[in-house]
Structure 1
Amino acid sequence: MAASGTSTGRRIVWLNVITVISAAILIGAEVFGAAFAGSWALATLFDLGSTGQRILDGLFVLVGIAVMAQFIRNAHRIEPFTARS
């Protein structure tokens, strides 16, 4: 009998994996597109120049990464990647 902590008897549910990856690609394109558009708009509005825009790019991309990590964690909870055989 296998220990309860091992992965014996589990299989990957590819439909759930593909669903989460596809949604992450779509949402990621929107999140990072909005990050770059927002940094450009704010840098232009406040006349921050190229350096200011790059700094905002970095900040907004970090926020985008945090949003995507949270999305994937929540999606994994709803659509589990493994199931018992």
Structure 2
Amino acid sequence: MSQKPINYLHLSTLVAVAILVGTELVGASWAAGWALGGLFQLDPMISRGIEIVFAAFGLIGLYFFMKTAIRNEPIRG
């Protein structure tokens, strides 16, 4: 069974989108956690925990975004 060759234009587009959207999404969610910790004057360890949870939500959002992007612009084909 032969596979179609890799379309490097689509691959480079997806890598660029992953970097751009990933930086924006994870950075904004991490900053939101930091801002909430500072706003409510939480203990630094609790604030770091909130930052990590928010960053995890950003990574989950990036995963689903990239899943959709790969479906709409396949690497092979």
Give the alignment's TM-score, normalised by structure 2.
Answer: 0.91
Q: Which amino acid aligns with 1:71?
A: F
- Structure 2 partner of 1:27: 21
More strand by share: 1
What is the CA distance between 1:32 and its match in structure 2? 1.6
Q: Is the 8 A contact 2:30 2:52 kept in 1?
A: no
Q: Distance in 1 between matches of 2:41 and 2:3?
A: 59
Q: Which amino acid aligns with 1:53?
A: S
Give the structure, 1 or 2, with the largest relative contact order (CA under 8 Å, sep 6 or more). Answer: 1
Percent identity between matched residues is 32
Residue ranges of structure 2 left out of the alignment (5+ in a row): none
Residue ranges of structure 1 left out of the alignment (5+ in a row): 1-5
Q: Which runs of 4+ in 1 moved over 2 A?
A: none
- Structure 2 partner of 1:71: 65
RMSD: 1.1
| Number of matched pairs | 77
Q: Helix, strand or coil: the match of 2:5?
A: strand
